[in-house]
């Protein structure tokens, strides 16, 4: 399995949804870690300007897990068009990246 690391970001409307989704992602071993951060988003949706609190999930995982992670998020996300973007990690602490890879590895039965 490719051990190239990345961060996948998504935003969600409530803190409870963020906690639930983050826990499910880590428990499914689709990521080693998920950080949750409250933000305020301004965006246009269906022709109207919205100003909303959101919670951003910074999901630390492997590039090789992206497709499974995206499908997992889509199945559980409450937004019609959720933000799901992958950001490459081009460098980092070797020990941390090793831990990230181990925590993001698929279970043996996959």
Query: CA angle, corner 81, sides to 78 and 83, nearest 5?
Result: 90
Q: What is the pLDDT of residue 109?
A: 40
- One digit per residue, the tens of pLDDT, for the chain of length 110 reads 678 999 999 999 999 999 999 999 999 999 999 999 999 999 999 999 999 999 999 999 999 999 999 999 999 999 999 999 999 999 999 999 999 999 998 875 44
DSSP the chain: ----EEEEEEEES-HHHHHHHHHHHHHTTS-SEEEEEEEEEEEEETTEEEEEEEEEEEEEEEGGGHHHHHHHHHHH--SSS---EEEE-----HHHHHHHHHHHSPPTT-
Q: Which pTM value belongs to this model?
A: 0.91
Question: Rg of the chain over CA atoms, in angstroms?
Answer: 15
């Amino acid at each position: 399995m490719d051990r190239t690391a990345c961060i996948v970001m998504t935003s969600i409307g409530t803190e409870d949804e963020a906690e639930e989704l983050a826990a499910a992602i880590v428990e499914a071993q689709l990521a080693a870690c998920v950080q949750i951060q409250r933000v305020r988003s301004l965006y246009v949706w269906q022709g109207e300007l919205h100003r909303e609190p959101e919670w951003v999930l910074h999901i630390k995982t492997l590039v090789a897990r992206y497709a499974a992670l995206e499908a997992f998020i889509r199945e559980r996300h409450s937004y019609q068009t959720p933000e799901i973007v992958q950001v490459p990690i081009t460098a980092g602490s070797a020990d941390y990246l090793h831990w990230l890879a181990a925590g993001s590895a698929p279970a043996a039965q996959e």
